Amino acid sequence: MSIKFEQVTKRYQAGPVVNDVTLDIATGEFFVLLGPSGSGKSTLLRALAGLTDIQHGRILLGGRDVTHVPARERGVGFVFQHYALFRHMTVAENIEFALRVRGVRAAARRKRSTELLKLVALEGFGQRKPAQLSGGQQQRVAVARALAHEPAVLVLDEPFGALDAKIRVELRDTVREVQRRLGTTTILVTHDQEEAFTLADRIGVMHMGRLLETGTPQRLYRQPTTRFVATFLGAANLLLAQRTAEGLRFGHELAVPFEYLAALPGHRDEVVAVVRPEDVEVAESAERLAHRAFTHGHVHSSGFAGSFERLVVQAAPDSGLRTAIGHEGPGEAPLRVEVLRTAAESATLPLAPGKRVVLGLRRFHVLPTPISGVVLCASDAARREALRGDALVQQLVGSMKARVIDADDDGVALASAGTLAVAGREPPAPASAGSGLRVVPGDADAVLRLARALGHGGAVLALPPGTQLPSRALLLCTSDGARPATLGVLASVMRHLPVEATYVTVQLPTAPRAEVTASFRRLLDARAELQAAHGLDVRTEVHIGDVDGWIVGLLAAEDAPLLVLGTEATAAELAGLLAGPLRPLFQAGARLPLLLALAAARPAASAAPASALAGDYG
């Protein structure tokens, strides 16, 4: 039976614990939900089973809407982490319980329990009590009980968490074999990555209530789209690289020649590269590497891990290599690269701490995020520290694991103590004009100045004093051309903020029918584009009125949502927006943070006058 979640949202007092989750699971698929504690995995399963209600969205089983159907009528078998067996009943009685409450005759119940005991390799254990079984055996009984009434869907909520390693491996093999034999659509919740990789047809990674990514284990490991998934699914080095005319540079080294750049996503100057430890080659000199060198340094530490050796290599300060994580500036910790070598490689080239080495790059993956780091732009250190301490900035930086760069109020990065000149080489640019999320104090002049400096293709976050962490994000695009870039920025923010996101169009009351139809079509297109390109869902809303009234209404609301404005406006049009409809956002007492997503500007010949932008923001 197929499973479909449509914008499922579950809220508690602190906010959404499941946030607009949209997901399709095919009949017979083994789907694994992976994520840290508190990410909303178990709550989503309980909603599927009917054990908790939801505030928004729908749940469909086999195309039937079961959102408000009682749990016992959904045909879902549930296996809990802590067995939940009746201690006073025998194993057979536990398995037969679900059949007994459904009025199944005794002979049929006994036959079914015998079949299931054989299926989970517990033949002859039917008359024992749970206390006479091991933990692994009790969990097998729980699986058999969940299958007793032949559910179309099997749900397992961390069923192996309380077991030791060997029994856990044996039981998960049993569950996978049973699932394949019966063809039951199955969802497993776990925080164990190895378990997810072993069992899953597909994996979904959740964080802060949102489903960040879904895909096969191989794709999510090799081609993640977010920093969180890259670092959550195994070890990863997140490094900054620079696009140049010659190719992609890691620090001073040209690691990837120009001909390979066409395959990389986007056109940004600065990108975030994911380098897995096993994809780093180690040698004593560049000539002995089979792949291009990307940095050099010395071995900081080594550790024995059975068939593998774990190395930590500290990059030399003169290598120019930069991490995508942490703060750039005085007092920055040395950059260390994780390396994983096989036992054969370790035996061929033994390495002790302090040994000088050169690192080669076997393989890497560039994240498609438009935000390579966070740049704090202010005229003095005190204002930059105020931006750094802002609740919204702290949430973004902490969740993204983003690099923080200090810059002046024109967006020019300040000199980093870790950036050293090397004879005969140009030092790496401190921060290219088109990279990173620029954060400024909330005034229109600062926004316009940075927008002009960035040209188009960047993002600027304007923060009024005392900004609180928003619970909503509202997206408004000034044109269809601005939508793709703006959705990319919105997706990056949605993955790291516990906000409910809504795509908004503002429709004049006097708009003709054709314009109204086109406006609704844009809403549907935007939602479909976000799902297809970024795997996320967004709500839609039509505001009848004008932009000025809509913004005034937002300023008067009890909460202060994050306003995401996407535009491909020219400099003159942007100045008109900031001085016109957006001016109330920068007045004294205004509390709304503004995230301005800049797309490539339209040719001047086809540009609409600034006055036209005050009408329909589709």
Indicate whether 547 belongs to any domain: yes
Proportion of the chain above pLDDT 70, given as a percent: 89
Closest listed residue to residue 8, CA positions, set 608, 375, 49: 49
Record the tokens describing residue 323, joined without a space.
């991490």
Residues 54 and 171 in one domain: yes
Tell me: pLDDT of 421 over 50: no
* Residue 17, pLDDT score: 92
pLDDT bin (cut points 50, 70, 90) of residue 309 is very high
The DSSP secondary structure of 46-82, one letter per residue, reads HHHHTSS--SEEEEEETTEE-TTS-GGGS-EEEE-TT
Q: What is the mean pLDDT of residues 561-581?
A: 87
* Residue 162: per-residue pLDDT: 62
Is 430 a residue whose pLDDT tops 60? no
Check: CB of residue 462 under 8 Å from CB of residue 504.
no
Q: Which letter does DSSP use for residue 412 in this model?
A: P
Question: What is the distance between the alpha carbons of residues 576 and 611, in angstroms, rounded to a whole number?
Answer: 8
State the Cα–Cα distance between residues 439 and 306, nearest whole angstrom: 46
DSSP letter (8 states) at residue 468:
P
- What is the DSSP pairing of strand 153-157 with strand 185-190? parallel
For the segment 188-206, what is each residue's pLDDT rounded down to a tens digit?
998 888 889 999 999 999 9
The answer to whether residues 48 and 156 belong to one domain is yes
Helices (H), 408-512: 444-454, 483-494
- Does residue 202 sit in the same domain as residue 262? no
Establish if 12 belongs to a structural domain.
yes
Tokens 């921060």 sit on residue: 431
Confidence band of 479 (pLDDT split at 50, 70, 90)? confident
- In angstroms, the first-to-last Cα distance of the chain is 38
Question: Does the pTM exceed 0.95?
Answer: no
The pLDDT, as a whole number, for residue 205 is 95
Tell me: do 27 and 103 sit in the same domain. Answer: yes
Predicted confidence (pLDDT) at residue 610 exceeds the cutoff of 50: no
Whether 214 and 275 map to the same domain: the answer is: no
Give 114-150 pLDDT, tens digit per residue.
888 888 888 888 889 988 888 888 888 888 888 887 7
Residue 495 sits in a domain of what CATH number? 3.40.50.620
In a domain, 430, yes or no: no
Confidence band of 264 (pLDDT split at 50, 70, 90): low
Residue ranges of E strands in 306-370: 308-315, 322-323, 326-328, 336-342, 356-361, 365-366
The verdict on 196 and 309 lying in the same domain is no
| Number of neighbours of residue 448 by Cβ within 10 angstroms | 18
Tell me if 292 sits within 8 A of 221, measured CB to CB: no
Q: Are residues 261 and 308 in the same domain?
A: yes
Which of 366, 394, 424 corresponds to the end of one domain?
366
Residue 126 CA, distance from chain mean position: 45
379 inside domain: no
Does residue 186 sit in the same domain as residue 252?
Answer: no
Segment 144-165 mean pLDDT: 79
- Host domain of residue 85: 3-222
pLDDT of residue 568: 87
Give the residue among 137, 141, 143 at the shortest CA–CA distance from 156: 143
Mean pLDDT of the chain: 84
pLDDT of residue 313: 95
Q: Which CATH number covers residue 310?
A: 2.40.50.100
- Residue 412 forms part of a structural domain: no
Average of per-residue pLDDT across 336-356: 93
Q: Do 241 and 325 lie in a common domain?
A: yes
Shared domain check, 254 and 205 = no
Q: What is the pLDDT of residue 400?
A: 83
Q: Are 447 and 492 in contact (CB under 8 A)?
A: no
Residue 85 and residue 155 share a domain: yes
End position of a domain, from candidates 222, 256, 275? 222
What three-state secondary structure class fits 430?
A: coil
Residue 401, in any domain of the structure = no
**Residue 382 placed within a domain:** no
Reduce the DSSP state of residue 364 to 3 states and report it: coil
Q: In Å, how far are 74, 211, 369, 490, 538 from 21, measured between CA atoms? A: 20, 6, 21, 16, 9
291 DSSP 8-state letter: S
Amino acid identity, position 174 = T
Do both 199 and 285 map to the same domain? no
Does the residue 409 lie in any domain?
A: no
- Asked which of 346-350, 506-510, 531-535, 599-603 is least confident by mean pLDDT, the reply is 599-603
